[in-house]
């Protein structure tokens, strides 16, 4: 039997290179090894300000982008979080075991409550309990995440351990699987890539758009003139992009050319562009094809909900039983 895996991604609009490399690409690589559950976590998304008119299309776009990236809905269970009401049911139950002090120590809560000082709400505070419920509903053992989420998985273990200790062994303590591609910086080389900072390349950007964005992208500041030598490791174009999209040979060419000042940044970016395009154009084409088949997408969303719900309702049943909620 394969081990269970769960991971979630917020419907932020368009999937950019940062969350593609940081999450979805790894999901595609992991789905053969694990029995995987992947969710578009819309209930998490509403803990910070959002536009109700745009939310439905953001959820669907993210769903389509995940499909286009190569998550196979037959192999894995891909679903929209709010469609499976058990997430909320389990969240309430786990809230009774979540120590107030555990939540006050969460870094993401501190960051988000500073970012959105006008609405520091209860759901933002208890966000990690919902995240715990996500994982626990499917009794997932493995949770692929970025480094910024480790604290939430530690908390999940604390909550579930307390549940098991109090009511009997129902849950498995999950373990994080840190994805190799850490923080992908934006084109500005100073901030993490994000939609709101407009420093991103979307996985569905056209080939021309990608080059338009790469052209002014920040490089090693030591290379003021073409004759100045540079250090690829100090260049965001190299560390955030080339490293993930270019083959060994291109990487060698760039290393040599940059340190000996025999290649200019524009040519270096042209090489990158070619490799990025090779990787992304099949995804872009699949995305456009999927988007055009509205009924297919709706069917896949229903299919995912049914598969997820089956497992989730079993779990809720056994949870209620041991607690004495009859
Ligand atoms: N909190 C995660 C993030 O911000 C998303 C998420 C929600 C998640 N539920 C999850 C990730 C469960 C892993 C497992 O990226
Ligand atoms: Fe960066 Fe390439 Fe320019 Fe070197 S040549 S500074 S790696 S863009």
The model's pLDDT over 22-71, given as tens digits with 9 standing for 90+, comes to: 899 999 999 999 999 999 999 999 999 999 999 999 999 999 999 999 99
Cα 206 to middle of ligand 1, angstroms: 29
* Nearest residue by C-alpha to atom 6 in ligand 1: 8
pLDDT digits (tens, 9 = 90+) for 308-324: 999 999 999 999 999 99
Angle between helices 207-214 and 265-292 (to 10 degrees): 140
Supply φ then ψ for residue 200, to 5 degrees.
Answer: -120, 160
Beta carbons of 229 and 261 less than 8 angstroms apart: yes
Angle between helices 107-115 and 150-167 (to 10 degrees): 120
* Nearest residue by C-alpha to atom 4 in ligand 2: 258
pLDDT digits (tens, 9 = 90+) for 256-270: 999 999 999 999 999
* Residue 144: CB atoms within 10 Å: 21
Cα 210 to middle of ligand 1, angstroms: 28
What percentage of the chain reaches a pLDDT higher than 90? 92
Of residues 224 and 122, more confidence is placed in 122
Ligand that comes closest to the CA of residue 250: 2
* Nearest residue by C-alpha to atom 11 in ligand 1: 8
Cα 15 to middle of ligand 1, angstroms: 15
Ligand 1 proximity of 143 Cβ (cutoff 6 Å): yes
* Nearest residue by C-alpha to atom 15 in ligand 1: 9
Cα 197 to middle of ligand 1, angstroms: 21
Query: What single DSSP character describes residue 184?
Result: P
Q: Just list the catalytic residues.
A: 112, 192, 195
Residues 6+ apart with CB under 8 A from 282: none
Pocket test of ligand 1: the residue of 5, 6, 7, 8 to mutate, having most ligand atoms within 8 Å of its CB, is 8
Residues 6+ apart with CB under 8 A from 206: 284
The per-residue pLDDT for 146 is: 87
């Amino acid at each position: 039997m394969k081990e269970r895996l769960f991971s979630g991604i917020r419907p932020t609009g368009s999937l950019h290179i940062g969350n593609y490399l940081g999450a979805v690409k790894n999901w595609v690589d992991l789905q053969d090894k694990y029995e995987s559950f992947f969710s578009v976590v819309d209930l998490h998304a509403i803990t910070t300000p959002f536009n109700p008119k745009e939310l439905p299309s953001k959820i669907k776009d993210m769903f389509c982008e995940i499909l286009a990236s190569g998550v196979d809905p037959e192999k894995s269970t891909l679903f929209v979080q709010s469609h499976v009401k058990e997430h909320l049911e389990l969240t309430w139950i786990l809230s009774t075991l979540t120590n107030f002090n555990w939540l006050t120590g969460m870094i993401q809560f501190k960051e988000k409550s500073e970012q959105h000082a006008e609405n520091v709400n209860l759901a933002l505070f208890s966000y990690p309990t919902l995240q715990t419920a996500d994982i626990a509903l499917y009794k997932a053992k493995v949770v692929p995440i970025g480094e910024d989420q480790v604290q939430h998985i530690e908390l999940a273990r604390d909550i579930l351990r307390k549940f098991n200790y109090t009511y009997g062994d129902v849950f498995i303590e999950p373990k994080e699987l840190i994805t190799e591609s850490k923080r992908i910086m934006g084109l500005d080389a100073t901030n993490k890539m994000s939609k709101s900072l407009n420093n991103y390349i979307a996985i569905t950007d056209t080939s021309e758009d990608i080059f338009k964005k790469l052209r002014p992208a920040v490089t090693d500041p030591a290379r003021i003139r073409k004759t100045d030598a540079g250090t690829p490791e100090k260049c965001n174009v190299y560390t955030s992009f080339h490293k993930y999209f270019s083959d060994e040979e291109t990487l060698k060419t760039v290393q040599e050319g940059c340190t000996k000042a025999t290649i200019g940044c524009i040519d270096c970016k042209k090489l990158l562009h070619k490799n990025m395009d090779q990787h992304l154009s099949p995804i872009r084409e699949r995305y456009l094809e999927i988007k055009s088949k509205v009924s297919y997408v709706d069917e896949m969303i229903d299919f995912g909900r049914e598969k997820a719900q089956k497992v989730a309702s079993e779990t809720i049943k056994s949870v209620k039983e041991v607690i004495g909620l009859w």
